[in-house]
């Protein structure tokens, strides 16, 4: 029986579209804004990113546990979907404002605004993904919601990739701080409108126990879940494939291909590749074990990541190969998110309670940590290259940024395959677990 309405599906897709517009804009431009517009040294920016990530390790898990203990008449997750978007929009805009002042003051404001952005992002990100796991009792429906969410997220990334440069040019160009402020305001406000609709429209159909899960007990959702732990390590690494490209693509377009306008074409390659891979994923998952499908996608992704670095050939060939690479990345993302929901069912079967909040809090943390590590790799590489803002590119800079965009993702694809040797959940086992869980719920246990 299909329970998720078309209205919910459209709203869920739109909400993730909006959220990823904000996430992609911050990931793509905040480091460039800090270094080239606010003139903060790349070493200081790297320290800000790492410090924010360390706080996220605490903040994200706490938010997940709070969500798991939340009990309201509209559900566990919907209150946060209603409250979060306005705060995210405001803090996002603050990240792209040049307040002037002393260099030390500029660093302090940048650090505070970036940490606050990570905290407000968490308040929405954990519930919006966690609600997909309680939107239906049907596994295919939940996989469908994950696919729609990922497609919406990809479209959000593409909108920013394709539209950001024209927006910047309309308000003064890529070297104008006020242009970034205007872009941030337009993106953040329009995204927040899409995001808040999720709180009004989406429904939670798997009800939690009346009593909230104690914090000490909830942590065992992770500690006693070997498939989840293996998957988390793999997710951390594979997430870096796209995040390293997002943080480096502006530098790459400007200093390797010679024109910031190529960011738009990278975005077009992303949408064609990612959406194709994601759209094919549900049918592929129904036919093959998603673990092995993930491994095949990663292997193919590694090859297509490395090829442009070896072959050269300029932007046209690079964009074509990147398109195929994004397709494999899309398949890997859908498989990994679907396996994440399988690990929640496994934890409920083993422990007797569902910890969606803490599981997706780890997913949020890993996403942000991968972005932070990507920024750290970029910052360290720029230091080693002798990068200075607005410099004339030389061979060292060109090769360096090319390696970051092509070689690093290839290595990440390969490394993400190793932890999956410990992921043991099979389709037949999962089907048996779901039947047992349905029997328990029917019996009121």
- pLDDT digits 0-9 by tens, 408-420: 999 999 999 999 9
pLDDT at residue 444 is higher than 70: no
Cβ(179)–Cβ(47) below 8 Å: no
pLDDT at residue 285 is higher than 50: yes
Q: Which CATH number fits domain 6-443: 1.20.1250.20, 3.40.50.880, 3.90.180.10, 1.10.10.10?
A: 1.20.1250.20
pLDDT of residue 210: 56
Average pLDDT of span 202-220: 75
- Of 289, 57, 28, 338, the residue nearest 167 (C-alpha): 28
CB atoms within 10 A of CB 101: 11
pLDDT of residue 445: 52
Going from the C-alpha of 197 to that of each of 15, 17, 119, 193, the distances in angstroms are 7, 12, 21, 7
What residues contact residue 241 under an 8 Å CB cut-off, 6+ apart? 301, 305, 329, 409, 412, 413, 416
- State how far the Cα of 251 lies from the Cα of 378, in Å rounded to an integer: 10
pLDDT of residue 367: 81
- State how far the Cα of 161 lies from the Cα of 151, in Å rounded to an integer: 15
* Pick from 198-202, 210-214, 439-443: least confident: 210-214
pLDDT at residue 2 is higher than 60: no
pLDDT of residue 211: 65
| Class of residue 283 by CB neighbours under 10 A (exposed 0-12, middle 13-18, buried 19+) | exposed
pLDDT of residue 354: 76
Average pLDDT of span 312-325: 87
Give buried/exposed letters for 312-344 (b at 16+ CB in 10 A, else e).
eeebeebbebbbbbbbbbbbbbbbbbbbbbbbb
pLDDT of residue 16: 95
Q: 212 falls in which pLDDT band (50, 70, 90)? A: low
Coil, strand or helix: which one is 16? helix
pLDDT of residue 63: 87
């Amino acid at each position: 029986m299909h329970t998720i309405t078309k209205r919910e599906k459209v709203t869920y897709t739109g909400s993730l579209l909006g959220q990823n517009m904000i996430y992609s804009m911050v990931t793509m431009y905040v480091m460039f804004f800090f270094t080239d517009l606010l003139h903060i040294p790349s070493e200081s920016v790297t320290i800000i990113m790492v410090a924010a990530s360390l706080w996220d390790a605490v903040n994200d898990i706490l938010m997940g546990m709070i969500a798991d203990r939340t009990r309201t008449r509209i559900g566990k997750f919907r209150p946060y979907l209603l409250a979060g978007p306005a705060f995210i929009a405001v803090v996002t805009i603050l990240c792209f404002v040049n307040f002037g002042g002393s260099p030390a003051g500029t660093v302090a404001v940048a650090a505070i605004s970036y940490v606050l952005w990570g905290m407000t992002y968490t308040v929405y990100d954990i519930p919006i993904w966690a609600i997909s796991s309680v939107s239906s009792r049907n596994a295919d429906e939940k996989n469908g919601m994950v696919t729609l969410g990922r497609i919406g997220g990809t479209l959000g990334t593409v909108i920013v990739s394709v539209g950001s440069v024209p927006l910047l040019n309309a308000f003064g160009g890529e070297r104008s701080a006020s242009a970034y402020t205007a872009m941030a305001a337009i993106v953040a406000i329009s995204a927040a409108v899409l995001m808040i609709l999720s709180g009004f429209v989406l429904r939670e159909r798997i009800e939690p126990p009346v009593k909230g899960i104690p914090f000490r007990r909830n942590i065992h959702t992770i500690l006693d879940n070997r498939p989840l732990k293996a998957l988390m390590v793999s997710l951390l690494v594979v997430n870096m494939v796209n995040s390293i490209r997002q943080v480096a693509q502006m530098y790459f377009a400007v200093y390797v291909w010679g024109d910031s306008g190529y960011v738009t074409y990278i975005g077009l390659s992303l949408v064609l590749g990612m959406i194709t891979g994601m759209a094919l994923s549900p049918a592929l998952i129904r036919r093959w074990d998603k673990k092995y499908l993930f491994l095949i996608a990663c292997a193919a992704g590694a090859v297509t990541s490395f090829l442009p670095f070896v072959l050269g050939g300029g932007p046209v060939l690079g964009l074509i190969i990147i398109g195929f690479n994004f397709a494999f990345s899309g398949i890997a993302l859908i498989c990994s998110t679907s396996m994440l929901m399988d690990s929640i069912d496994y934890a409920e079967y083993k422990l007797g309670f569902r910890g969606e909040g803490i599981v997706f809090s780890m997913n949020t943390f890993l996403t942000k940590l991968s972005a932070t590590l990507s920024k750290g790799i970029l910052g360290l590489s720029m230091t080693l290259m002798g990068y200075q803002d607005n410099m004339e590119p030389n061979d060292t800079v060109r090769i360096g940024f090319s390696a970051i965009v092509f070689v690093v993702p290839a290595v990440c694809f390969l490394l993400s395959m190793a932890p999956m040797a410990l992921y043991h959940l099979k389709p037949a086992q999962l089907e048996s677990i779901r039947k047992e869980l349905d029997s328990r719920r029917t019996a009121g246990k």
